[in-house]
Amino acid sequence: MKIFCILFLSLAGLVNEYQKDTKARKILESVSKKYKNIPTFSVHFIYILENKTQNIQEDFPGKLTVKGEKFKLELTEQEITNDGTNQYTYIKEAKEVTISSYKKEDTDINMINIFDIYKKNFKYQLVEELSTPLLYVIDLEPNKKEKNYFKIRIEINKKNDIKSFKLFDKNGNIYTYLIKNLEIKNNIEDTFFTFDTKKYKEIEIIDLR
C-alpha cells in the first residue's frame, strides 16, 4: 500500500508538471503572437500519413493561404475555401462541392488553428531541445480522453516558426505536416477566399447549410 501511495504521488507530480510547463507555454505564446500579427500569409507544406502496422506511407504537397478568419487550403485532390461564414469543400475528381456553415470552434486540428490550439483543453510539455538545428519539441495532450487522438507534437525553431506538427490517433495513424516555407502576403483580395460555383462546369452542389 505504501509503495502504491508513493507511485501515485509521483505520477500526480508528473501530471502537474506537464500542465504547468512554463517554458513550453512561453514558447507557444510567442508562436501564437507571431502568427496572429501576420495579417495574410501562405504556407507550403508536405502532408504525410503513416501507419506502420498497416504498412501505410502516403505523402503529397499542399498550400494554405490565410487572411484573418478566411482561408484556402489547396491539395492535390481537393480544395477547401472558407470565406469566414461558409466553407466549400471541392472534390476535383468527383466534380462536386459541399457547402457548410463554418463554426470556428468545430474546426479539427489543422494548420489553420495549430498555433493557437494549446490555449484550451490541452496539457503541454517541452520534451526536447534539439541543437542542430535549434528546435523546441513540445507535446500537447488533450484533456478530453474521448478524442480520437492522444497527442500532438510540434517542432518550433528559434524564430518562433512552426516547422512541423504531428497528430497521433488511437488507430495507429500519424498525420504529419512538414512546413516548407512561410510567405507574407499583403495584396490578396477577399475574393480569393470565395468559391464561385459558376466557374465550374457540370459541378454537383451539396448544400448542407
| pLDDT one-digit tens code per residue, 132-150 | 788 999 999 988 888 888 9
Average pLDDT over residues 97-112: 74
Q: Sorting pLDDT into bands at 50, 70 and 90, what band is 154? A: very high
Q: Sorting pLDDT into bands at 50, 70 and 90, what band is 114? A: confident
Instruction: Report in angstroms the alpha-carbon separations of 155 from 42, 84, 100.
Output: 19, 28, 32
pLDDT at 123 over 60: yes
Output the nine-digit C-alpha cell for 94: 468527383
pLDDT at 65 over 50: yes
In this structure, the dihedral spanned by the alpha carbons of residues 165, 167, 168 and 172, taken in order and rounded to 10 degrees, is -110
For a pLDDT cut of 70, what percent of the chain falls above it? 86
Average pLDDT over residues 204-209: 94
Instruction: Report in angstroms the alpha-carbon separations of 83 from 63, 91, 135, 152, 189.
Output: 17, 18, 34, 27, 11
pLDDT at 107 over 70: no
Q: What's the mean pLDDT when you consider all of the chain?
A: 84
In this structure, the dihedral spanned by the alpha carbons of residues 57, 89, 142 and 146, taken in order and rounded to 10 degrees, is -90
Question: Rounded to two decimals, what is the model's pTM?
Answer: 0.78
Q: Cα 147 from chain centroid? A: 15
Instruction: Report in angstroms the alpha-carbon separations of 209 from 85, 96, 205.
Output: 11, 16, 12
Report the pLDDT value the prediction gives residue 30, as an integer from 0 to 100.
Answer: 93
Report the pLDDT value the prediction gives residue 3, as an integer from 0 to 100.
Answer: 39
pLDDT at 58 over 60: yes
Average pLDDT over residues 43-68: 92
CA atoms within 13 A on the CB side of 39: 6
